[in-house]
Structure 1
């Protein structure tokens, strides 16, 4: 009896040690990418990059095997004013007619403490790719209460320089540094 229990326990441990990573599809209705900057010292406006499309692979047992890849269509860029939206999409900034999307693809994922990750990856804007580091807080990994499928949610922050990506108009009086704040929810399909 003891040998049977010991064998069962060893198989259970071996099974959890080799748990497969889970692939999640980002939910664009519950994903926000917000950019915020300083405008001439007077205000701190923001813009929302909506309609995120992407895939997140999370391996709880081997975090370094995790990855994320996201595309942000600039047609969904929202500066909360039609006139400002037009300006942001113009050649002065994102040149959305020529470069219709921004993207991020992770190159490294590292554990950074309890429920924390550091995700390094390549951010591409206007055809220019630069490394960016995201500080990530894992909010929850569980079954989605309505859809009854595995789900994951996290928040992340990063700071980037606009001029690194060819969107540095009016710098430095309009801050070159932009704070990115991200929240997302994703489900296994």
Structure 2
């Protein structure tokens, strides 16, 4: 899991950071012409945590993130986009039998549907125009080849200890709850609650 530092991004912070990056060569009035910036996934420090209830006891598991593309538009943060692909085959829980059941045909059916994908469709900024502090990202979640709209709480941060103008590495956290049955992952309903909480943590870096 990724620690969440107290360095939230605002439009002002993004503009100031992009304006000072030597690679872009932006300064002063040219900052207003900053183009959307693409970020790619750091697989070593990214994961999807999920929480479920098994026979009345809270359980936690993880899934590797295979890919995450993030585009930040400094002129219009609400036009920023997120596209996350998760590896179902690599899903793990703290219980071997629970992992087998979860990835089996009655729940996620990893053999037939090896990935889960979330693609954003709308970004709602939080307090003060932040991509945190109440920001929400709506999008389409595809599980078992079934796509449903969901809304996740969102936070986007600079790396802990980084300078205010250093936006080369960012961290995004997406959190929300889904009903597994609406995606057809309804197996073992007598043992496992329908509600599953997602906690997506990804470290991204500016694309070359």
Larger Rg: 1
Alignment of 1:175 onto 2:189: no
What is the TM-score normalised by the length of structure 2? 0.76
Q: Which residue of 1 aligns with 2:18?
A: none
Q: Which runs of 5+ in 1 are unaligned?
A: 1-10
Q: Unaligned stretches of 5+ in structure 2?
A: 1-25
Match of 2:48 in 1: 33
CA contact (8 A) 2:89 2:111 kept: no
Give 1:170 deviation, angstroms: 3.2
- Is the 8 Å Cα contact of residues 48 and 65 (structure 2) preserved in structure 1? no
**Alignment partner, residue 148 of structure 2:** 130
Q: Does 1:107 align with 2:121?
A: yes
- Note closer, same or farther for the CA distance 1:172–1:22 as it changes in structure 2 (3 Å cut): farther
SS at match of 2:137: strand
Query: What are the Cα deviations for residues 118-142 of structure 1, in whole angstroms up to 9, with x where unaligned?
Result: 1111000001000111111222169
**Are the aligned partners of 1:56 and 1:69 in contact in 2 as well (CA < 8 Å)?**
yes
Q: How far off its partner does 1:33 sit?
A: 0.8
Per the normalisation by structure 1, the TM-score is 0.83
Q: 1:144 to 1:55 in 2, by over 3 A?
A: farther
Q: Which residue of 2 aligns with 1:158?
A: 176
RMSD: 2.4
User: Greater RCO between the two (CA within 8 Å, min separation 6)?
Assistant: 2
